Amino acid sequence: MTGVDRTWAARYNAGEVLQYTTGSKAEGIERGSFATVRSVDVYREEERDLAVGERIQFTAPDRENRIRSGDFATVERIGYDNALSVRFDNGNKQQRRRDCHRENS
């Protein structure tokens, strides 16, 4: 695998074994240690037109905002900056910034 290939998550497959040539104190990774790829998530940014009342489905989990993959919501408001106000099927409401909408591919 080339240096450029190593930077693309889509080039990895579950079960492959990686060796870290440099470590990371922040991540607790020792230099020369090994790891096995468990899964690979790849995202593709995509522009879409949405309207108030439209139903959307989240295709990736967002633990920070307590959103599970597969959750549905209804667009209640679209702000001047394209921020969304959504109501989830469980009744919870959230404001979603324009830059945090991702489509799982």
Structural domain boundaries in the chain: 3-36, 44-104
| pLDDT score recorded for residue 23 | 84
How high is the pLDDT of residue 100?
55
Band of the pLDDT at 103, cuts 50, 70, 90? Answer: very low
Per-residue burial over 6-36, b = 16 or more CB atoms within 10 Å of its CB, e = otherwise: eeeeeebeeeeeeeeeeeeeeeeeeeeeeee
* Cα 54 off chain centre by: 21
What pTM does this model have? 0.53
* Mean pLDDT, residues 31-37: 92
Question: What are 25's two structure tokens?
Answer: 């104190």
Alpha helices in 1-105 (DSSP H): 3-6
Identify the CATH class of 44-104.
mainly beta
Lowest mean pLDDT among 42-46, 51-55, 71-75, 79-83: 42-46
| Region 29-33 average pLDDT | 92
45 touches 102 (CB < 8 A): yes
At CA 51, angle to CA 49 and CA 55, rounded to 5?
A: 100
Is the pLDDT confidence value at 20 over 70?
yes
* pLDDT score of 75: 94
